[in-house]
A and B are shown apart, each in its own frame.
Chain A
Amino acid sequence: MNSLLSITLTEMNTASFSIDANYHLDAKVPPGPLEQKWQHFKSNSRLVSPANRKKYHIIVVGTGLAGASAAASLAEQGYNVSTFCFQDSPRRAHSVAAQGGVNAMKNYQNDGDSVFRMFYDTLKGGDFRAREANVYRLAECSAHLIDQAVAQGVPFAREYSGYLANRSFGGVQVSRTFYARGQTGQQLLLGAYQAMMRQVGLGKIKSYSRHEMLDLVVEDGMAKGIIARNLDTGELGRYAAHAVVLATGGFGKIYYLSTLAMGCNGTAIWRAHKRGALTACPSWTQIHPTCLPQSGSHQSKLTLMSESLRNDGRIWVPKRKNESRAPIDIPEEERDYYLERRYPAFGNLAPRDISSRAAKERIDAGYGVGKMKNAVYLDFKDAIHAQGKETIRKKYGNLFDMYHKITAVDAYQSPMLISPAAHFSMGGLWVDYELGTNIPGLFAIGEANFSDHGANRLGANSLLQACVDGYYILPYTLPHYLAALSGEPVPSSRSEAFGIAEHEVNNSLQQLLTIQGTRTVDDFHRELGKILYDKCGLIRSENGLKEAIKEIDELMGEFYQNLKIPGRHDEMNDELEKAGRVADYLEIGKEMCIDALSRNESCGAHFREEHQTPEGEALRNDKEFQYTSCWKYDKQKPMLVKEPLQFEVVTPTERNYK
């Protein structure tokens, strides 16, 4: 069995990637018992004295929860910070769209929660494909985030008594989710944004909105700054600093139809990758089970309906194929509550990857509902009956309103139609325990990195991760890096490395403009999205992935022959912006497929058809694949570097939610 597997691996090597067994990756996990590691780091880390901090310049790209919280916290300590975002205000980063909630181990409900349990839930949720020490720290730092957010004025939901309220979320059996109506992300982000703007007002942060990072500048092996384009004028600028932090969010928009904002992109991390930063598990994408289904080819995005709805909504499909009756006319005994049937212990709150696959299984088997037969029902009938319409309105009113706005259907009367959509990138830039990439001086935080979520992220854990990275971890680990620079001046942006980077960016923009073919950027993006959704989405297979790689290669070829962008580079040009992102997406998509192909097992959201249990669940292969797949850039043949995952405290088990 083993030798067979290694043969297939070797065969594939020659085809699409190679393995670098000598590359040494240092995860920098501190010594000592799990629960003392973070304390150990903090007690032993280097510090910069208050008087010296203003001499250090830090660039933070991205002003979502991760970037804004990091920028504010570092500026409060006295560092000079510059922030960048592509929207017209830092407050519009896509963190703003998170609805359901943020997890924290407060155990206010006295229902058995603990740091260890939260750590274990997260690690198990991620199918034992994350670093123990990082995950433990996430749980450990979670409680204080709630204190910080409340102090900033985040209006979390409360009981009548005035105490903070909680709800439960998928994949866990305690109530540890804090929420602010269905706008938790907006409220947390406003807290972080306001903290950041306070520092802007105090002159400690310089904020560049409508500036897109288009390259990382690396000199003597260290990150020294970025090249950014002013999206309003088209002007390129050089920005130098002692350290660069990428907090650029997820790239799930690569699937075109996704729950992400239109501008979300992988450009910043991809350009850093091309300059030497390793990616990790780029293909691990969370497909969210409760989104509005696609209704036609014009569609530009799929709106998420918060997972919190699964607390009270029951998911079902008709027992009969091609059912034509309206849902309210289908009697109880002719409905298949397939999640409750398959996963009695967790029922409608089964983790996302499992719920999404279960939906896809029913839809593919011909039980889908709706105009395009691509959806399942999410029904509130029983909850309204048991709790009353008012209670349901209070809990989810804005979500029901949103559903009504988009579909013109009243979900108090008739069940919602939902279907799976691309949502979250577990994969991203590889980081060590200190959130540093393999390029000294380059850090990655929030959704942009691969760290805590393993092969599947639990709901309400990523707002947490973005905040914990930005408020509590980077403000310790980045100064630890800066202190070792012992007073070096700010790098010069007139250096050769800056010159080359700027020149290359300029050339690539010009190149895109000169093609003048016949297809729009969106047209290419849609095609790429479809390839990835079909072949590197919920279910993957060796053949499918190989086909996808071929198709992407062809599409990339056509892109550089037949793309059409109007306008010039030295002016505002939305199509040019999008084209740069799609050019990167094509390359990322290919690396995703290679990543998925190289992992001959199923784990979490990475479901390889060839590897499943008789009941159709993901079948891990710990013996061969208990490692993080890190990738070194090469346009033709990326190189795989393995970071072995060692479990000292927990024993990986089969993820069972039955």
Chain B
Amino acid sequence: MMRFNLKIWRQQNPKDKGHFETYTVDEVTPDMSFLEMLDKLNEALIIEGKSPVAFDHDCREGICGQCGVMINGRAHGPLNQTSTCQLHMRSFIDGQEITIEPFRARAFPVKKDLKVDRSAFDQIIAKGGYISVNTGQAPEANHTLIPSEQVEEAFDAASCIGCGACVASCKNASAALFTAAKISHLHKLPQGQPEGPFRVKQLVKAMDDLGFGACSNTGACEVECPQGISISHIALMNRLYFKT
């Protein structure tokens, strides 16, 4: 059994200034997930009549992108390529203090405690993060052959889960990795190329309009991305952007 001291960001609502509070959880087992440890804390808080810590999560298997907090200053915690929900307590040392904060960025206002508003990501996609094909228009799938390595490259970019760790770990709060991943996913496939120039222009503009910062190539985002998406996609985005 393990025991931890937690220092958690508490904020009632978007207007509240917010502050840290400390808690102790014990009877934690190494195979508990990080979120199950928070569940345990919350059940105890509720029984004591206190307000539980609000945090985001849904699939709890690393694919929906709903979870995500800063753990000891790192987005999604100490492990590489691991989302918060896939982190287990065996990755921490018994007795350790763990600081838990929301993903912070100008474009991601805090809603409550550890939950932030990431709807700006949806707005970026709505501006052109798609291939314009109506239902029913598609030609026979095997008419366009796409070499498997090319599909795999597109896939590397397409695997983004939209969690926002890239933004939270960037000192400029830039959404370059998120945006570039979508541009790159669609650009690397023949069916995505006709709209390429339009897409790049639209998405880059949306990113700026929504209050995300500029990318200064520090590479911090790549390190924290739970899907291991490479910053080489940002370079591709920049190349495509300057071409337009």
Contact = CB atoms under 8 A, between A and B. Distances in A.
User: Do A and B interact with each other, yes or no?
Assistant: yes
Interface of A: 69, 72-73, 76, 87-92, 94, 96-97, 106, 108, 144, 146-153, 155-165, 180-181, 183, 186-187, 190, 193-195, 197-198, 200-201, 207, 209, 232, 261-263, 295-296, 298-301, 303-304, 402, 405-408, 471-472, 475, 518, 520, 522-523, 564-567, 571-572, 574-575
B119 A194 contact: no
A300 B64 contact: no
Contact of B141 (A146, A159, A198): A146
10 contacts: A76-B134, A147-B138, A147-B140, A150-B141, A153-B131, A193-B125, A194-B129, A200-B122, A406-B88, A566-B51
B112 A572 contact: yes
A147 B139 contact: yes
Contacts of B50: 566
A151 B191 contact: yes
A151 B137 contact: yes
A200 B36 contact: no
Given A89-B118, A194-B130, A296-B31, A262 B57 contact: yes
B33 interface: yes
Contacts of A300: 33, 35-36, 39, 60
B59 A198 contact: no
Interface stretch (B145-153, B165-173, B217-225, B233-241): B145-153
A73 B135 contact: yes
B65 A163 contact: no
B86 to A, nearest CB: 5
Contacts of A407: 31
Given A148-B138, A300-B36, A566-B50, A96 B63 contact: yes
A608 B192 CA distance: 52
Contacts of A298: 29, 32, 36, 39-40
Q: Which of A94, A152, A575 has the largest number of chain B CB atoms within 10 A?
A: A152
The 5 closest A-B pairs by CB, nearest first: A162-B145, A194-B130, A151-B138, A201-B126, A147-B138
A402 B87 CA distance: 11
A108 B60 contact: no
B112 A198 contact: no
Nearest to A202: B126
B145 A156 contact: no
Interface of B: 13, 29, 31-33, 35-36, 39-40, 43, 45-47, 49-52, 54, 56-66, 79, 82, 86, 88, 90, 111-112, 115, 117-119, 121-122, 125-142, 144-148, 151-152, 154-155, 158-159, 161-162, 185-186, 189, 191-192
Contacts of B185: 153, 155
A156 B151 contact: yes
Nearest to B127: A201
Contacts of B63: 96-97, 183, 186
A158 B118 contact: no
Q: Which of A89, A94, A144, A522 has the largest number of chain B CB atoms within 10 A?
A: A89
Contacts of B65: 89, 91-92
Contact of B135 (A76, A186, A408): A76
Given A150-B191, A153-B158, A298-B32, A198 B132 contact: yes
Nearest to B139: A147
Contacts of A187: 155, 158
Contacts of A295: 31
A195 B131 CA distance: 8
A475 B59 CA distance: 29
Nearest to A470: B135
A649 B118 CA distance: 52
A331 B15 CA distance: 65
A183 B159 contact: yes
B32 A520 contact: no
Contacts of B145: 158, 161-163
A366 B56 CA distance: 40
A153 B43 contact: no
A148 B133 contact: yes
Contacts of B61: 97, 301, 303-304, 402
Contacts of A522: 39, 43
A160 B148 CA distance: 5
A570 B95 CA distance: 38
Nearest to A99: B63
B131 A406 contact: no
Contacts of A96: 59, 63-64
Given A94-B59, A164-B142, A566-B51, 10 more contacts: A92-B162, A147-B138, A148-B135, A150-B144, A195-B133, A207-B122, A300-B35, A405-B88, A518-B47, A566-B52
Nearest to A93: B64
B131 A194 contact: yes
A471 B135 contact: yes
Contact of B192 (A153, A471, A475): A153
B130 A572 contact: no
B155 A162 contact: no
A571 B13 contact: yes
A164 B127 contact: no
Contact of A198 (B66, B88, B126, B146): B126
Nearest to B31: A295
B58 A263 contact: yes
B65 to A, nearest CB: 6
Q: Which of A146, A148, A518 has the largest number of chain B CB atoms within 10 A?
A: A148
Contacts of A571: 13
Contacts of B122: 89-91, 197, 200, 207, 209
Contact of B43 (A72, A152, A471, A523): A523
B16 to A, nearest CB: 11
Contacts of A232: 111
A197 B121 contact: no
A155 B158 contact: yes
B90 A408 contact: yes
A157 B122 CA distance: 27
Contacts of A518: 47
B130 A406 contact: no
A185 to B, nearest CB: 8
A202 to B, nearest CB: 9
Q: Which of B119, B130, B185 has the largest number of chain A CB atoms within 10 A?
A: B130
A197 B126 contact: yes
B60 A406 contact: no
B155 A181 contact: yes
Contacts of A406: 86, 88
Contact of A262 (B47, B58, B62, B191): B58
B85 to A, nearest CB: 9
Nearest to B64: A92
A301 B43 contact: no
Contacts of A296: 29, 31-32
Nearest to B117: A88
Given A97-B64, A296-B31, A157 B141 contact: no
A260 B211 CA distance: 35
A291 to B, nearest CB: 11
A164 B151 CA distance: 10
A618 B33 CA distance: 38
A247 to B, nearest CB: 15
A157 B151 contact: yes
B25 to A, nearest CB: 11
Contacts of B128: 201
Contacts of A108: 142
Contacts of B138: 144, 147-148, 150-151
B130 A92 contact: no
A88 B118 contact: yes
A245 B192 CA distance: 31
